[in-house]
Amino acid sequence: MTGPGVAWLLDLAGIFVFAVSGALAAVRQRLDVVGMVVLAEITALGGGILRDLLIGSVPPTAFTSLGYVLVPLSASGLVFFWHPQVTRLLPAVLLFDAAGLGLFCATGTLKALDHGLSPLHSVLLGVVTAVGGGILRDMLSGQIPSVLYDRQLYALPAMLGAAVTAAAWAADLHGGTVTAGAALLAFALRVLALRYGWRTPRPRGVPD
């Protein structure tokens, strides 16, 4: 499979897992099917839309590919009918969120690099891609966005995955394997932080 084909599949995978995260958040907030679809679509596509607008890639990919809309709808249908089973199979909604975080930080960084941004700015945009949808999801569901209290490492794993992606690109290492590896690294750090309670420090004198 060609490089663009792999990147497209990885992007769809990230969209799916973020959409599941958004749909499950809607279940937890006791929203109806409309609210579920809205949260799923916003969580899945929000970061990518922000990325595309910032780099001048208009209209955003979310509005030019049918798959980018249908994948969140399919995730919403899955959660609507089988959310108890989905929750039992993957009990933490954050597991889906971590998977999407890893995939989006890598694919977002690559798209920024392809549009001529410097590695540093591409890393920043990769983080925006990864956390943007989650911020919108949390705001719409009445929660403080996780990125604003990075107490169990949310933005930092995205930065790590984006930085590895940019470093590999600078070293002329390309392909789906490199992208998947960077995504997996960010995912692993996020999951380990959740498992072992790793935290970022608060300002001096501020109690935990």
Separation in Å, CA 148 to CA 67, 116, 131, 189, 200: 31, 29, 10, 18, 11
Residue 203 lies in a domain: no
State the Rg of the chain over Cα: 16
Q: What is the pLDDT of residue 93?
A: 66
Residue 190 lies in a domain: yes
Q: What is the pLDDT of residue 91?
A: 61
Whole-structure pTM value:
0.85
Q: What is the pLDDT of residue 208?
A: 62
Residue 135 lies in a domain: yes
**Which residues in the chain show pLDDT less than 50?**
1-2
Domain count for the chain, please give it: 1
Q: What is the pLDDT of residue 150?
A: 64
Q: What is the pLDDT of residue 119?
A: 95
Q: How far is residue 123's CA from residue 111's CA, in Å, rounded to a whole number?
A: 10
Residue 206 lies in a domain: no
Q: What is the pLDDT of residue 17?
A: 84
Residue 78 lies in a domain: yes
Residue 37 lies in a domain: yes
Q: What is the pLDDT of residue 103?
A: 86
Q: What is the pLDDT of residue 189?
A: 94
Rounded to 10°, the helix 33-55/93-114 angle is: 20
Are 15 and 45 a contacting pair, CB within 8 Å? Answer: yes
Residue 88 lies in a domain: yes
Q: Give the model confidence (pLDDT) of 153-177 as tens digits.
A: 888 999 999 999 999 999 998 877 8
Residue 98 structural domain = 3-196
Residue 14 lies in a domain: yes
